Every structure is written in structure tokens, then in C-alpha cells.
Amino acid sequence: SNTQTPEPKPIENNFAIWTFDQTPKMSSYLYAICAGPYAKKTDIYEGKFGSYPLAIFVRPSLSQFLDHEEIFEVTKQGFKWFEDKFQIGYPFKKYDQVFVPEFNAGAMENVGCVTFRDEYIFRSRTTRTAYESRANTILHELAHMWFGDLVTMKWWNDLWLNESFAEWAAHWASTGATQYNEAWTLFHVQRKAWAYRQDQLPSTHPIAANMPDLDSVYENFDGITYAKGASALRQLVAWVGEENFLKGLKKYFEKHAWKNTELKDLLSELSISSGRELDSWSKIWLESSGATLLRPEIEVDANNVVTKLAIKQEPPSAPPGLDPVLRPHRLALGVYEKQGEKLVRTKRIEVDVVGEKTIINELNGVKRPDLLLINDDDLTYAKIRLDSHSLNTATKEIASIESSLSRALIWGAVWDMVRDAEVGTGKYLDLVLAGIEKETDIGLVQQVLMQCRSAIDVFANRKNRKNYNIKLATGLDRLISLAKPGSDRQLALVRTFSAVATTEDQITKVSQILDGVQKIEGLVVDTDLRWALLRRLVVVGKRGEKEIEEELKNDDTVMG
């Protein structure tokens, strides 16, 4: 529960009583009690504010798969990072992490007793991306111990702030404190892509939404509340400066510990620490819907020398009928030049984009860059476009850019152009097959392949879909043969190949991998991969109920 688990006091008929210590002051929604025959691992975190016992609980049938060393490592790294940066010690006496069977959420930040869905205990081989996502969730819930548990929102109107802060803090801590130091790349390709998608649907809403009742709360656990809100917070950190942000945050924690607050309480401290007026920023960022679009406007002379460069901002276009808002953006413009085999960022221009058009004078009189990337480093939330020259460069050279985040921004921009019907599915498929051959970030590989499948299934002309899937599977088959045996890349490619295999030869290969007839060096065909292979064979009519029942005999778990 929320305090240390006491020794039980036996009573008659094999019953016992557990008497827990009184908790510190806490909101009732943060109460939890977990019971069951859990397997347990323990450790301790020793920091500058004190020592805290740590524990992990998991059902016995998953205990053999529990990689408690890594979970404790990430947890301790998070403790140190947050205590160092917040300058406020962990506010509770212990920290338990309970992996709960059939848990109906990703995780929940109960005081000192965080609960997770136990799919985070991996029983089959998975990619680094899955471990990174789990580490992010661990850090997300730990951040809530300060922002959410020590200081709690007054009402659900600030649910977005509670979740957005933990979302931002988790990626910030992961980047600065763990082995997953490119966490902002995963944020962009997974979480932010989720936000952009939901922000262009008819169901979009402002980040700060009115919550008259609990039904409204449940409706707003979405990509806008979490990922768009975290993106806005990241922009706020850039707007006021990280040092000023942390100064204001420390004052906020000290002033409001064990109390309830509203957004205005945080903004007040940040305004004092930074000297920036934030009420107007809050209104335009948090009370309006949709994503604005930023595109470069570049003019060159006969010698290909830049004579004019501007960033044009367009109001949200989807869904129709949104307020024509233009937001202020603190962002970086990346300037890239081809140097040997690499596309290198030679200049970073940080600028405040305000209003419809912002003139950039720094490149006047120089040769046109090979690529211009608006919002390099991903500091703001906006749809971006590449000029035609930059798009042509990116199509050929994207894999040679060193920063995975910059590559992710380009991939994201092109994907958005597909969604907006500015780039066709066929051209996108060509870019994907060319680009992922040398892409080294496994999270990017997985996300781009997933988006490519969506482009074929959703946006392509129906008469072209079969041929596009054949082309994708053919390209993946070649890349599988080039992949390092036993690598995450190999596993991701095989999974996607099995999902899109279309021709008789491709389907036969899926069948032979499943049956062990065709061996791929380094590939372990374990439980989860077997289900993925079998699923495709069932979809195309090559296997049926009999084979499903046979597979269930080998995997009678709730995940089977």
C-alpha cells in the first residue's frame, strides 16, 4: 500500500491482519492497496536527502522474466536526477513498483506504490525501443511523486498539467540520466505523432479543457492531454530558459507542498524566475486547438545565393472551423551542408517566430544550404514543411545526418505531407525503403515502417495496395538478409515482413520461419514472434482454428 508493509498478525482460520502506518497527507485518488501471491525483489536508494527502500512485485509466473536489475537501475537514476534538479528530496518513505495482472491502464502514480500493467515484463525477445518505453514509464510515474503527489491539482481541469509535466520530465530525465539518451527522438516519433494525429481530428480540444465531471476526465486521457501538453511544456522551458524554469519549479514545490494548486500558481513562479509575462502565452498555447504550420520561404539569385529567407506561419487547417490562431515559437533553424559522405549541420539559428511571417537575415548573401530544417531539436509544437530543394536532399541523404532527432523531424515532416496529400504513397514507399536501409535508430525504423503500412492501408488507391505491399515485403526481405544476426533491426524487419507478406513465395517464407523449416541466423522464433507469424498465415487463409488451438497449448497465458 502507500506506506511500508507491516508483518501480518495471524488470527483464526488462516486469516491475518495487516496494520499499516498512517500515510502523509494525500489525495484520495492516489490511495492503493495490492494483494496477492506476488514475487518480490528489493533494493535501496541512497541519496543526498536520505535512503529509501525500493521493491518490485510481480506475479510468480512472470518472475523468471523479471529483469529487476535494469528496473532498479532506471529507478535509481530517476531518483538522483529529480532530487538533483528539483532540489527537493523524495517526499515519501518507500517506493514500491507493482506489476499487476490485467491492469487497465499503463501505470498509476499511487503514493509510494506505483502500479504497472505487467506487459512491461517481457517474456519474449523485444527491441531496445520497448525497454526505452518502459524506462520512460518508470520515470513518468516517479516524476509524479513530486508533481501530482507532493503538490496536487485542485481540480481535474489541470489534469493536462499533471500528465504533461510527468511526460516532459520522463523524457528529460531519460535523456540526461539513463542509457536511453535519445529519448526526445522516441518522444517525437511516438508520442508527438500521436498528438499531431489527434489534434487534427474533429474531437480535438484545447490542452487546458474544462472538466465539469469525471466523464469529461476519462474522455481527455488522450494524445492532446499527454503529448501535446508535454510539447507545450517543452516549448515553455525553451521560452523561459531551463535554469529559470527549475528555479521557479523549486519555489512552486516549496510553497505548495502537501497542498492543491492551479496552473496560475506554477505560471506565477515561472514568471518571477524568468521575468517573462506568461498569461498571454498560456492563453494562446493552452486555450486554442489545432497545430499551426511552419514553412520556409526562400529566394535565391542566379548564383544560388540566398537573397531572402522567412518562416511563414499558417493557422490550423484541420479540422475545419478552428480559430485562426498564430502562436509564438522559440525554435531552432538547422542549416545543413553536404560534407563528404555526411549531411552536416553547419549552423543553428535560434529565433522567436511570432505572427504570420518572421524574417531570418543570418543566411543572406551565402550559398543556398543543402537542407533547411525548421524546429531542429524539436523545441516547439507545429507541423513543419521542407522546401523542395531540402526535400530532394533529404530523400537522398537522410541516413547520413548524425542526429537521430533531426532525422526523426524529417521523417515526421514527410509523413505529415503524406497525410495532407502533398506526397503520394508511392513516393513515400520509395523514401522509406531507401532511408531505413541505413537508419540506425531502432525506434525510428519501427515507427517509419508502421507509418508506411498505414500509408498503404489508408491513403493509397485501393487498386495499388496489393502491389505496394508486395514491394514493401520484397524490400524488407532484402534488408533482412543484410541485417546483423540477432539484432533488434532483424527482429523489427521480420515482424513487419510477416505483417505485409503477400505473394505466394512471401507467404511460404512466413510459414517456413514459423515451422522452423527456414532458419534465419540469429533470429529466435519465440512465443510473441510465433503469434505474429501465425496471425499473418490465418489472415491469408493458410492456417486456421486448429493451428491457433495448437499454439494456445504452448502459451496458455492471458497474453496468448
Q: Is 347 part of any domain?
A: yes
Same structural domain, 434 and 530: yes
CATH code of 343's domain: 2.60.40
Same structural domain, 442 and 377: no
Same structural domain, 362 and 476: no
Distance CA 381, CA 374 (A): 11
Cell of 120: 512491461
Domain boundary among 385, 403, 436: 385
pLDDT of residue 559 exceeding 60, the answer is no
pLDDT of amino acid 432: 94
pLDDT of amino acid 434: 87
Same structural domain, 528 and 434: yes
Tell me the average pLDDT across 10-14: 89
Domain boundary among 385, 407, 433: 385
Of residues 223, 190, 187, the one with CA closest to residue 205: 223
Based on the structure, what is the number of domains in the chain?
2
Tell me the average pLDDT across 487-497: 96
Same structural domain, 440 and 366: no
Say which DSSP state 116 is in: E
Catalytic residue, from 141, 163, 269, 397: name it: 141
pLDDT band, residue 556 (cuts 50/70/90): low
pLDDT of residue 14 exceeding 90, the answer is no
Distance CA 353, CA 396 (A): 29
pLDDT of residue 106 exceeding 60, the answer is yes
Same structural domain, 366 and 454: no
pLDDT of residue 85 exceeding 80, the answer is yes
Q: Is 126 part of any domain?
A: no
Cis check: omega of the bond before 319, within 30 degrees of 0: yes
Is 210 or 350 the better-scoring residue by pLDDT? 350
Q: Is 111 part of any domain?
A: no
pLDDT band, residue 152 (cuts 50/70/90): very high
pLDDT of residue 141 exceeding 70, the answer is yes
Alpha helices in 201-339 (DSSP H): 214-219, 223, 229-240, 242-256, 263-274, 279-286
Q: Is 367 part of any domain?
A: yes
- Whether residue 384 contacts residue 409, with contact meaning beta carbons closer than 8 Å, is answered with yes
Task: Specify whether 83 is catalytic.
Answer: no
Q: Is 177 part of any domain?
A: no
pLDDT of residue 175 exceeding 90, the answer is yes
* Percentage, residues of the chain above pLDDT 70: 99
Tell me the average pLDDT across 346-374: 97
State the residue range of the domain holding 307: 291-385
Same structural domain, 521 and 462: yes
Same structural domain, 329 and 457: no
Q: For residue range 407-461, what is the model confidence (pLDDT) as tens digits?
A: 999 999 999 999 999 999 999 999 899 899 989 999 999 999 999 999 999 999 9
Of residues 266, 241, 240, 263, the one with CA closest to residue 252: 266
pLDDT of residue 557 exceeding 80, the answer is no
Q: Is 246 part of any domain?
A: no
The rounded mean pLDDT for the chain is 94
Q: Supply angle C-alpha 338, 342, 346, rounded to 5.
A: 55
Q: Is 478 part of any domain?
A: yes
Same structural domain, 303 and 428: no
- Please report the sign of the dihedral spanned by the C-alpha atoms of residue 358, residue 305, residue 397, residue 401: negative
- Identify the residue whose cell numbers are 514545490: 253
Q: Is 130 part of any domain?
A: no
Same structural domain, 546 and 431: yes
Distance CA 156, CA 242 (A): 27
pLDDT of amino acid 217: 83
DSSP readout, 461-488?
Answer: -HHHHHHHHHHHHHHHHHHHHHSPTT-H
pLDDT band, residue 553 (cuts 50/70/90): confident
Same structural domain, 466 and 350: no
Q: For residue range 197-224, what is the model confidence (pLDDT) as tens digits?
A: 999 999 999 999 888 888 888 888 889 9
DSSP readout, 119-147?
Answer: GGS-SS---HHHHHHHHHHHHHHHHHTTB
